[in-house]
Structure 1
Amino acid sequence: MPDLGHELTFGLFLPNPASQAATVVRLAQVAEQQGLDLVGVQDHPYNADLLDTWTLLSHLAAATSTIRLFPGVACLPLRPPAVLARSVASLDLLTGGRVELGLGAGYLLDAIGRMGGPWLTRGEAVDALADAIEVIRAIWTADEPITLGGHYPIESVAPGPAPAHPVGIWVGAYQPRMLSLTARLADGWLPSQAYASPDQTRDLNARMDEMAVDAGRRPADIVRIYNVNGRFGSAAGGFLDGPPAQWASQLTDLVLEQGFSSFLLAPGGDIVSSIECFAQEVAPDVRERVAAARRGGPAEPEPMARAAVTVAAPEGDDGIERDGSWGDAGGLPVQDRPRPPVLDPPAPSGPSHPDNFRNLVAIHDHLRAELEQIGQAVGQVAEGELTPAAARTLISRMTVRQNHWTLGSFCASYCRIVTIHHAVEDAHMFPGVRAAAPQVGAVVDRLEAEHLVIAGVLERFDRALVDLVREDGSSGPTDDGITEIGSLAEHLGEILRSHLAYEEDSLAVALTMMPAPV
C-alpha cells in the first residue's frame, strides 16, 4: 500500500506504574518539551500496579499545554461508552482539543469479569465494541435524545457535550473481525509492534484496505498509528535496533510503503535519552525523508556536507561564511562583535573533544535547514497553497521557533543526542565554555545578547502570522500581510545565519577544551 499522505506525528507510549507517579508525569512533560505530538497510555483497570488511565490523562492535561493525549487503548468493558463519551468530550473541551480516543474490545476477558465487568466471549466483545462506537458518536453529535439497543442500551439520553474538535476513534485490532470493524467504523488503526511486526502489518494493512473499500470507504479514511519499541546503538541490527538514521530509514519505509503516519515510542533503557533521541533525531529525519519523497525526490538524504568538519582556530578577520552573509544582528552591528581570542588547541595527548564542535555544527545545520522550510512555507502562503494557520503550526513545531537555536550542542556531547531544553542548556553550555576558556567571555556575552534579538524577531514573525490567520477569511490574507511575512522571514534568515556562523567560528577551539562527557 502506498503513502496515504497523512501528516506525520510522533509520540510517546507512556509507562504508567503507580509506584513512580511523579516520574510518569515528568516523562510526559519531557515528551512535550522535546516537541513530540502525542502521549498514549495503556488502560488495564484490573491491574493494581498501574495508575488509572483516565485519572492520569486528566492530570497530564493540566501538567502540559500542547501535547495531545489518548488512552491506548481504553478497556471498553470497564468504561461504559456513554460515560466515556462525556469524559472524552469534557477533557477535549478543557484542553482546547488535545484529546483522541483509542478503543479496544478488552484483552483479558476473565480479569475484566472479575473486576465487575461483563463476562463476554471474544465475538461478543467485538460486537459490543461496534455498539459502543455508535453510542459514543451519538453522544457527541446527536441533536435530540438518544435511544439505542445492543450491548449498551440507552434510552432517551440527552446528547452532549460535543468535543472541541472531531475526536479520532482509533481501534487496536489484529484479528479479522476486529480489522473489519476498524475498516468500517474507526478513524484510525492502532497496532503495536509487540503484537504485529512490520512484516505482519504489511498484510494486515492490505486486508484492512480491502475491507474499507468493500465498506464504501477509502483506505485514507483510516489513519495508521504504530506503537514501536527498539534500541538506539552505534551498530546496525534488526528493525529499530541501531543508530537514529537507521530508525529514520525504517520508519520512512513504513510511511511510504504501508501508509503509517504516526509512531509512538515505547522507550526502554535510559528512557529520557530514548525520548530525546526519538524526538530530536529520528522524527525530524523521517519528516525530511518523507517530504522529499512526496516531492518526487529520493527518500534517503544526501550525506551531510559537514560530516568531516575539521576543528581549527579561526583564521583571518572575516571568519568562515556558512550559508549566509555576515550582517547586523537586529540592531547589534556586526562590526561591534568581539573578535575571538587566539586559543591554543589542546595537545593531542590532552583533553581534546572535537565532538563538541561537530555537534554544534550538526544542530546549526538542522536550524539552517529549518530556515529553508520557513522560506518555502512563506512562499506557499503567498501562492495560496498553504493557509497562514497551517504555516504557523508548522513553524511553531520547529526547533528554531522554540528559542533553542544553538545551545543544544552541549547536551549532544554529553548525552549522545541533542537535548533541547533551555534550562539545562543555559545552565551548562555557556558556563562550560566560560570555565574552559575564560578568554571568550566577551564573545559569549555577545552571543547571549543576539539570542534576545533573535527571540524578538521570532515574536514579531509569530504576531504577523497571527494577524494573517485573522485576515484569512473568504477573501484570503492581504498582500501587505504577506509582504510583511516575507520581509520578516528574510530578516530572520539573515541574522540567524550570521549568528550561527559567528558562534561556530568564535567557539570552535573553546568547545574542544571543555571537559569530557560523563
Structure 2
Amino acid sequence: MTVRKVVFGFGSPTGYDDVPELLRTVEQADRDGLDHFSLPDHPYLGERLDAYAAIGFVLGRTRHIAGIANVSNLPTRPAPMLARTVTTLSALSGGRVVLGMGAGGLWDRIADLGVDRLSPGEAVDAFEEAIVLIRSLGGGGAPVTHRGRHYRIDAIEPAPVAVPPVWTGSVGRKSLAATGRVADGWIPGHAADWLSERYRESRPVIDAAAVAVGRDPGEIRTVFNLPGRITDRPSAAPRDRAGRWVGGSVGQWAEELTGAVLEHGASGFTLFPSGDEAPEVTVGRWAGEVVPAVREAVAKEYGAAPGSP
C-alpha cells in the first residue's frame, strides 16, 4: 500500500488591513516547511482581498509553500478562465498551487455580482462539468471543443502544463458523489472533523462514487479545516459541547492528529488560528512543534516517510 503524504497548512487572514500580517505569516510558514496556505474566495465582499490575485502575489515571494483558494467561488470564475489562471500559477510557481473548487453557496450575494442564479442541482451539475472541462484544458494535446449544459468552448488549445490537484468543498450527496468521480481531494464542510457525523456519513458517498467509475477511493485525500488554538498546557476540554475538536496542548494536538491519520484516513490539515495569540505565533507553533510531531509519529508507524503527495 502506498501511504499518501500528509499535508499541513494554515488559513491566512484576508482583509486589506491584514496584508502585512498575511505576508509575514506565509513567508514564515514557507521557511518553516508548511505545505500550503489557504485563502477564502468571496468576491462580493469589498473588504476582502481577491483570492487569486493574493495567491499569485504571495507565491512570487515564497519558494516552497503552495496556495489554495478554499474554495474557489466557481459561479463568479468561469471554468475556462479558471483553468487559465491555475495553469499559469502552476507554471510560474513550479507547481505550487492546488485548485479548490466549490459549487457556490451564498447565492443572494453571488447574484449581486450579476451572475445568473442556479438551483442547487444546477450548481452541482455545473461544478462537476467545470472540473472535467478544466482538466481538459491542461497538459497539452489537441484543441478542446466542449458542448456541455453549462459551458461551451470551441477549439481552445490546452495549456502545456497539467492542471493542479483539485480539492472540493462538497457538502450534499450529489456534490460528494461528483467529488468521488472527478476530484483529487475533499475538504469537509462546516469544519467537520474525523469524529463528526458529517464526516462518517459523507466520506462513504465519495468512496462509493469513486468505485462506481473504476477509481481507487484512496486516491482522494481528505483535508480537514481546523479552527483551533494551541495552548501551553493540556486542555481539559479539547472538544466543544458538540464534540468538535477545538485544540489543546502540542501533545494533545499531536496525539489527536496522528490518530486522525492512522485510524480515520485523514491526509491533510489546515489550521485556522483562533484565540488571543497573533496568527503568526500560532502558525509558528503549528509548524515548529505540532506538525513535526505528527509527521514523526506517522512515519514511525509506517516504518518510513509517507509517499507521494
How high is the TM-score relative to the length of structure 2? 0.89
Equivalent residue, structure 2, for 1:107: 105
Q: Secondary structure at the match of 1:97?
A: coil
> Quick check: 1:93 aligned with 2:91?
yes
* Partner AA of 1:194 in structure 2: A
Distance 2:153 2:190 in 1: 40
- Higher radius of gyration, 1 or 2: 1
Distance 1:66 1:292 in 2: 25
**Identity across the alignment (%):** 34
1:195–1:157 distance in 2 versus 1, CA, 3 Å: farther
Please, which moves more after superposition, 83-92 or 254-263? 254-263
User: Offset at 1:154?
Assistant: 2.5
Distance 1:227 1:284 in 2: 19
- Higher fraction of helix: 1
> Quick check: 1:241 aligned with 2:247?
yes
> Quick check: 1:137 aligned with 2:135?
yes
Equivalent residue, structure 1, for 2:242: none
Equivalent residue, structure 1, for 2:270: 264
1:194–1:68 distance in 2 versus 1, CA, 3 Å: same
Equivalent residue, structure 2, for 1:168: 165
User: Offset at 1:214?
Assistant: 2.2
The answer to whether the 8 A contact 1:6-1:261 is kept is: yes
Number of residue equivalences = 297
The answer to whether the 8 A contact 2:99-2:165 is kept is: yes
User: Offset at 1:263?
Assistant: 0.7
Q: Secondary structure at the match of 2:137?
A: helix
Q: Paired residue for 1:191, among 188, 191, 201?
A: 188
- Higher fraction of strand: 2
> Quick check: 1:71 aligned with 2:79?
no
The answer to whether the 8 A contact 1:17-1:51 is kept is: yes
User: Offset at 1:162?
Assistant: 2.8
Task: List per-residue Cα deviations over 1:418-454 (Å, max 9, x = no partner).
Answer: xxxxxxxxxxxxxxxxxxxxxxxxxxxxxxxxxxxxx
* Partner AA of 1:272 in structure 2: E
Q: Secondary structure at the match of 2:224?
A: strand
Equivalent residue, structure 2, for 1:218: 216
The unaligned stretches of length 5 or more in structure 2 are: 240-244
Distance 1:195 1:7 in 2: 21
Equivalent residue, structure 1, for 2:30: 32
Task: List per-residue Cα deviations over 1:64-119 (Å, max 9, x = no partner).
Answer: 11111111110000001101101111111111111110000011012111111121
The answer to whether the 8 A contact 1:101-1:168 is kept is: yes
1:42-81 matches, within 5 Å, as 42-81=40-79
Q: Which runs of 4+ in 1 moved over 4 A?
A: none
Distance 2:264 2:2 in 1: 8
Equivalent residue, structure 2, for 1:150: 148
Distance 1:95 1:137 in 2: 19
How high is the TM-score relative to the length of structure 1? 0.54
Q: Aligned-pair RMSD on alpha carbons?
A: 2.2
1:51-450 matches, within 5 Å, as 51-141=49-139, 143-163=141-161, 167-192=164-189, 194-195=191-192, 198-200=195-197, 201-233=199-231, 234-236=233-235, 237=237, 238=239, 239-269=245-275, 270=277, 271-295=279-303
* Partner AA of 1:284 in structure 2: P
Equivalent residue, structure 2, for 1:425: none
